[in-house]
Structure 1
């Protein structure tokens, strides 16, 4: 009687474990949590600890993909637009002003790209929403708990986490995100996620209402002067999407064009009254700081306008030319504008590729949200609204949770809807107007 070799038995057991749905679920949750809590993790155990966690997650994700290789359609795995962007970022290493930093930045970018790809391939959209919901509830609850401890119980800042302890004064609070603006952005993503969970009945009504209240309270006390516009844009997007889903399929293209024209008009009016808008949103001089920084970036972009200075991701204040951006002894860790940041790092060519990638991803996601019956397809489009709008005053879209979430939305949209059949009328049988 033949016996199975121990090594083969061990490999079979490992494949069974790594390929199990429960393992994919756990790894997805941990990957999302690591992306969102990267700043807090880095504050506690430093860059080496965070990099070790990310590297371990990438290895586990790769092993899990190998274990599930039979169920994956490898052809057309990544959207071409995403590949082109990553390829151009990689090429900049040849003319980068800081080559080893570029190599490290590219490795960090590739790691979160891999994790986003894994999540998009291994989990359905509703499973992704649930994973984000669980992580975001934890992040907001713990953030408020630390703020209560710091601002009410000990009345002292928790400096290593960036918590200033201003809750008793009504804010601003930073939570586990490091800054009030980042906490505000995360609160809006959380509100979108919790609302989707509630509409899809993925969680109980009491938990959904509590979660939405939690997101609202966190956003309010963050006192972020820069998310007011994002809230307005998100609210308009929700109303527009709600109305669009009730338009008959035959008229949906006309409705989309009318909506596009309306957006163009609003953008034009906002541009005409930009000085007044700047005055209304310049709370605490935050916008003045950004405008000064952006002017300095544009001046340096002139030295390498087409190819850029080289990819870096997070800025390195100790490496030229980043010390030149010090404003009142404050050296920013990013360009505080993802689009301008990409232009600075990757040049006009890279910025053009990035805008094309973001536009294509959003258009695909928006079309799916307007056509698909299940409301869960609205989540990627609305999350992209938050990410792409907040990218006007933060660069978080390019790193960690921002890039991870963007890649998930990008890959999911590409898998669900090819641009060649995006405007097909009538749509697929599933794409009926939502009457619920």
Structure 2
């Protein structure tokens, strides 16, 4: 028996997995893999992508074990996430293809595991900076591919879905497969880059070029949802700034007022949706979505409580998805609305669980950001606002990069504000209030 073993030392492997340098490298690897999933699958195949995710999951379990003394098991995973993922697993038993549904659940659970690991080995600023580094590379690669395809070679790269229309000022897809996916990632990048700028986490020149890059790709994507997302996030940022600069004695009343105004605003927007759609020039896009949603609601009434089983992105050869595409003469891979997708796949029970999970994360992170001094804590609620707003038009939040970011934000919010934290003060408690992190501590 070695001296290190007798003293309970973790050994070289445990020291490596528990080190800050490995945590940063692991976080970048996870974010890079999941955000580049479309590119990896279309260049190297789905098996390659699955192998990478499996390796990252196994490594993540090792990281959690090596850090077990500093992580509270009571606060490891939000209860609402456990219940939601558990209901997804239960739906496997009544899905039309239980095998395919089960493997879809495995992928969903795997991405959630990766997010939980990131949420416990990186703080908010470190997570935002890692995401910023990854998105700078991926957005730069997207621009380079579009320039190569649309200007230098003037041929589409069909094997990765690039149409090569940058010379026509879009729409472009980059390495993300669709213009809506590129626009969505660009908005997440803008939030992250602006937070980096405010916290002085990167050099001013890098920060400025990053914002310009994300803004340019958002515009060139010509996605009808980008303008809505940008306006929603901008409004949320302005309101959060107002709350942060309000005295603590008046903050509670202001929060309730804001909540009431938001509810009233949603009612007004829904009532005036027709003129707003004409103003945005998205009649055709919304007409397609409305037809799809109306058709899907008809299938909900057959299994209103439990849904048709969890698949995440549609298994287009399974009922009712194949039937929907047949009657609409389309080839949809999702409901183009995360809430409708949850409703059709998990029923009303699943929708309530999903909304509860997302709303709890948003409320916790919003309250945390309104009370903390550092602007970095605004990153979590603003990312959540973007995710939940985009869920009205796409289903990105239910799989891949959207699901990863949703769970990461929920874990971070739960660590700062959780009823379980009041039961016991232990390791892995509330994140200290930091203003910025020095470059050598990355």
2:259 maps to what in 1? 260
Q: How does 1:14-413 map to 2 (within 5 A)?
A: 14-283=13-282, 285-326=284-325, 329-413=329-413
Query: What residue ranges of structure 2 are gaps of 5+ in the alignment?
Result: 423-429, 434-442
Using the alignment, how far apart are the partners of 2:212 and 2:135 within structure 1?
13
Taking a change above 3 Å as real, the CA distance of residues 369 and 140 of structure 1, as seen in their structure-2 partners, is same
Structure 1 residue 14, shift from structure 2 partner: 1.5
Asked whether the equivalents of residues 281 and 287 of structure 1 are also in contact (C-alpha less than 8 Å), the reply is no
Structure 1 counterpart SS, 2:331: coil
Report the RMSD for the aligned CA atoms in angstroms: 2.3
Q: What are the Cα deviations for residues 11-56 of structure 1, in whole angstroms up to 9, with x where unaligned? A: 7221122222111110110101111111111111221111111001
Structure 2 counterpart SS, 1:317: coil
Structure 1 residue 279, shift from structure 2 partner: 3.0
Structure 1 residue 278, shift from structure 2 partner: 2.9
Asked whether the equivalents of residues 36 and 400 of structure 1 are also in contact (C-alpha less than 8 Å), the reply is yes
Structure 1 counterpart SS, 2:378: helix
Using the alignment, how far apart are the partners of 2:231 and 2:201 within structure 1?
26
Structure 1 residue 222, shift from structure 2 partner: 0.5
Structure 1 residue 145, shift from structure 2 partner: 0.4
Using the alignment, how far apart are the partners of 1:46 and 1:284 within structure 2?
36
Using the alignment, how far apart are the partners of 1:9 and 1:74 within structure 2?
21
Structure 2 counterpart SS, 1:177: coil
Structure 2 counterpart SS, 1:53: helix
Structure 1 residue 271, shift from structure 2 partner: 1.5
Structure 1 residue 198, shift from structure 2 partner: 0.7
Please identify, of 121-130 and 89-98, the stretch whose mean Cα deviation from structure 2 is larger.
89-98
2:440 maps to what in 1? none
Corresponding residue pairs, total: 424
Please identify, of 329-338 and 302-311, the stretch whose mean Cα deviation from structure 2 is larger.
329-338
Structure 1 residue 234, shift from structure 2 partner: 0.8
Asked whether the equivalents of residues 147 and 173 of structure 1 are also in contact (C-alpha less than 8 Å), the reply is yes
Asked whether the equivalents of residues 282 and 288 of structure 1 are also in contact (C-alpha less than 8 Å), the reply is no
Structure 1 residue 421, shift from structure 2 partner: 9.5
Structure 1 residue 177, shift from structure 2 partner: 0.9
Structure 2 counterpart SS, 1:313: coil
Structure 1 residue 291, shift from structure 2 partner: 1.3
Q: TM-score, normalised by structure 2?
A: 0.92
Asked whether the equivalents of residues 226 and 281 of structure 1 are also in contact (C-alpha less than 8 Å), the reply is no
Structure 1 residue 137, shift from structure 2 partner: 0.5
Structure 1 residue 329, shift from structure 2 partner: 4.6
Asked whether the equivalents of residues 118 and 408 of structure 2 are also in contact (C-alpha less than 8 Å), the reply is yes
Q: What are the Cα deviations for residues 84-131 of structure 1, in whole angstroms up to 9, with x where unaligned? A: 111111111121122111100110011000000000000111100110
Q: What are the Cα deviations for residues 265-303 of structure 1, in whole angstroms up to 9, with x where unaligned? A: 211211111122233345372222211111111111111
Q: What are the Cα deviations for residues 291-324 of structure 1, in whole angstroms up to 9, with x where unaligned? A: 1111111111111011000001111112222212
Q: TM-score, normalised by structure 1?
A: 0.93
Using the alignment, how far apart are the partners of 2:147 and 2:419 within structure 1?
48
Asked whether the equivalents of residues 306 and 347 of structure 2 are also in contact (C-alpha less than 8 Å), the reply is yes
Query: What residue ranges of structure 1 are gaps of 5+ in the alignment?
Result: 423-427, 432-436
Taking a change above 3 Å as real, the CA distance of residues 277 and 62 of structure 1, as seen in their structure-2 partners, is same
